[in-house]
A and B are shown apart, each in its own frame.
Chain A
Amino acid sequence: MNADNTQDPSYDAKLPAQAGSVETMGTRQGMFGVSGTGDTSGYGGLVKQTVFPGPSQRPFGGWYDEVADALEARLKSTDLMGAIEKVVVDRGEITFHVRAQDLPFVAQMFRDDESLRFELCSGVSGVHYPGDTGRELHAVYHLLSMTFNRRVRLEVSVPDADPHIPSIVSIYPTNDWHERETYDMFGILFDGHPALTRILMPDDWPGHPQRKDYPLGGIPVEYKGGTIPPPDERRSYS
């Protein structure tokens, strides 16, 4: 039996990953993403990998290489070559995955280096990938260089069990509220933040609402004799 005509999920996982091009972040089951209700299509056992764009190799093209060169030159002189875990170029946007403990150094460099000059930080946005084991919580920073008219993205991944990222409020003061929001919504702890409190949810709120394991909530609604379940319990197609 070969991998082409089996529905055994474990077979797919044994296939060698296409190194250097894709990144698996979990799996999706069935053809229609429906569970519980009868999927009579015969594709209920289908398992598909959720595959994100993987690391890119040099040359990245255009000004991406200039930024990467400047970054590398600086990192080499400070013995922090491991600070950049990988670089992803996808859909015309470049993402630097930064090791959590080195974020303040890298951010400071992005802001101050004369060949980088990313003066403006558009804040931090959290993303929760439950399937990315050991690096479930991602903090995503968008930096803008007005001098060179460029944008880059910094991404920091930390495990759910130890969600600590150094704060960069001292480098980009605008991140004060953004880090509070990300803490509020995902529970990422920004070490060194001047006052890391909830900002949108009430102070005594339990849990962090934007995490994938946090339910949307809602109550069933009656309409013309029928009952419509809340949105997260409806039949849906993921």
Chain B
Amino acid sequence: MTQDMYAGSADTAEGKVFTVTGQDWDSITQGLDEAADERIVVNMGPQHPSTHGVLRLILELEGETVTEARCGVGYLHTGIEKNMEYRSWVQGVTFCTRMDYLSPFYNEATYVLGVEKLLGIEDDVPEKAHVMRVLLMELNRISSHLVAIATGGMEIGALTVMTIGFRERELVLDLFELITGLRMNHAFIRPGGVAQDLPPGALDEIRRFIALMKKRLPEYADLCNANPIFKGRLEGVGHLDLAGCLALGMTGPVLRSTGYPWDLRKTQPYCGYETYDFDVQTWDTSDSYGRFRVRLGEMWESLRIVEQAADRLAKLEGAPVMIGDKKIAWPSQLAIGSDGMGNSLDHIRHIMGESMEALIHHFKLVTEGFRVPPGQVYVPVESPRGELGAHVVSDGGTKPFRAHFRDPSFTNLQATSVMSEGGMVADVIVAIASIDPVMGGVDR
């Protein structure tokens, strides 16, 4: 057997340090000897299959009991907020959609709602744009919750939950690809509306998806809800009551698992959510199992909303999806050509061959962008993980002066310590999975 250059042990001023890569527990138990009854500090991650991405956990153990748990974050920091200050207001969407990569439409929506409020054009955004936003956001909630349940299942060894979770998520991503052209990082919701109208046949695909999901969603309930192993791993783990949630700023499924029905779609509706028929899902156990059941219930509710949105879109065929104000609406048009999605040849013919004014207008709006009156706004939305809000500040220029995202993953991850200290090492994984942090959103 060849020598593993990363594994091994060394003596430092802090004590003996082991590098563990898996399958080598013996080398530690032998190496520890007399030190075995002392405290051990375990650095878990940032590269570890059970930490939900590049999360680093610093666990202090006594035997198998966690006495202290701390998080190290920042490994995925990409300076998205800083970068947005150097691009136009519309280009900002392209950046912020990449933050929480499991719920891109929510990142776009909270930013765009903020920009629209700064511009004072909330009432001018066409109805169809709002319906399409709701449709995409709720499909996104389903795909995000599917990943939460799938990866959470995988981390406790329920691999079937993982495979069927990703199987269904793929169906949602196919719909995204059909509607926006991309499976992730869509940059589809734009200030003033959405980038494009629904392509032909999209509504049929959505209806087919709804019918299929109604057959498939019960599978999760059959596999997990009453499964004694699943319940044994999740029940009572990661407990956090209502007072703890409010002190730590927890929102989303974690807050609703305490029985408090706080959902911004109901309490502070946006995009016309007040006109849809759906219920806020709660559970009363304040633990990981409750959060699982809340997510499962929310997927059903999202499916209900998607169904209603699809019915509305059927009646809105041909309606505008972008604001009528030509000083804000993106002038460029996309179309499907023989080689895929690209610039609309009709639009290019128009600006290059027919109208000088249209060319100037296109050039000005695409290179310079529009100006937004000075001020600041905060318009949060209910993302699958909780309150996601963008604090958008304008100084009257063509670029955001400052865009700060209050990401629910970032806030909720602070509960790691209180949820896992005093429990077993294996329960840390379950507790973190029940928070469902997405490191792209945490680190931005």
Contacts and interface: CB of A to CB of B under 8 A. Distances in A.
A122 B74 contact: no
A237 B73 contact: no
Contact of B397 (A119, A122, A202, A238): A238
Contacts of B73: 199-200
Interface in A186-223: 198-202, 209-210, 216
> Contact residue range for chain B?
35 or more
B273 to A, nearest CB: 15
B389 interface: yes
A216 B86 contact: yes
Contacts of B267: 146, 149
Interface string A146-181: 100101010000000000000000001111111001
Nearest to A125: B404
Given A231-B87, A237-B398, A120 B406 contact: no
Contacts of A134: none
Contacts of A172: 247, 249
B248 A125 contact: no
A216 B378 contact: no
Nearest to A232: B86
A129 B413 CA distance: 30
Nearest to B75: A200
B268 interface: yes
B111 interface: no
Interface in A28-70: 28, 32-33, 48, 50-53
A52 B389 contact: no
B410 interface: yes
B246 A202 contact: no
Contacts of A52: 374-375, 395
> Contact residue range for chain A?
35 or more
Nearest to A155: B376
B368 A174 contact: no
Interface in B377-396: 377-378, 380, 387, 389, 391, 393, 395-396
Contact of B247 (A28, A173, A202): A173
B88 to A, nearest CB: 8
A238 B444 CA distance: 24
Interface in B351-388: 367-369, 374-378, 380, 387
A135 interface: no
A119 B443 CA distance: 25
B79 interface: yes
B248 A202 contact: no
A116 interface: no
A75 interface: no
Given A50-B395, A174-B414, A237-B367, A125 B406 contact: yes
B312 to A, nearest CB: 26
Contact of B249 (A90, A122, A231): A122
Contacts of A175: 249
A236 interface: yes
A236 B86 contact: yes
A200 B368 CA distance: 32
Contacts of A144: 387
A120 B117 contact: no
Contacts of A153: 376, 378
A112 interface: no
B77 interface: yes
A176 B414 contact: yes
A144 B374 CA distance: 24
A149 B73 CA distance: 32
Given A91-B377, A199-B73, A28 B414 contact: no
Interface of B: 73-74, 77, 79, 81-83, 85-87, 117-118, 120, 246-251, 262, 267-268, 367-369, 374-378, 380, 387, 389, 391, 393, 395-399, 401-402, 404, 406, 410-411, 413-414, 443-444
19 contacts: A26-B395, A50-B374, A51-B374, A92-B117, A93-B376, A93-B377, A122-B406, A125-B406, A126-B404, A127-B393, A142-B391, A142-B406, A146-B267, A201-B74, A201-B77, A209-B82, A210-B82, A231-B87, A237-B398
Given A209-B82, A216-B79, 16 more contacts: A50-B395, A52-B395, A93-B377, A120-B249, A120-B251, A122-B389, A140-B376, A142-B391, A146-B246, A174-B248, A174-B414, A185-B81, A198-B74, A216-B83, A237-B398, A238-B398
Interface of A: 25-26, 28, 32-33, 48, 50-53, 90-93, 95, 119-123, 125-128, 140, 142, 144, 146, 149, 151, 153, 172-178, 181, 185, 198-202, 209-210, 216, 231-232, 236-238
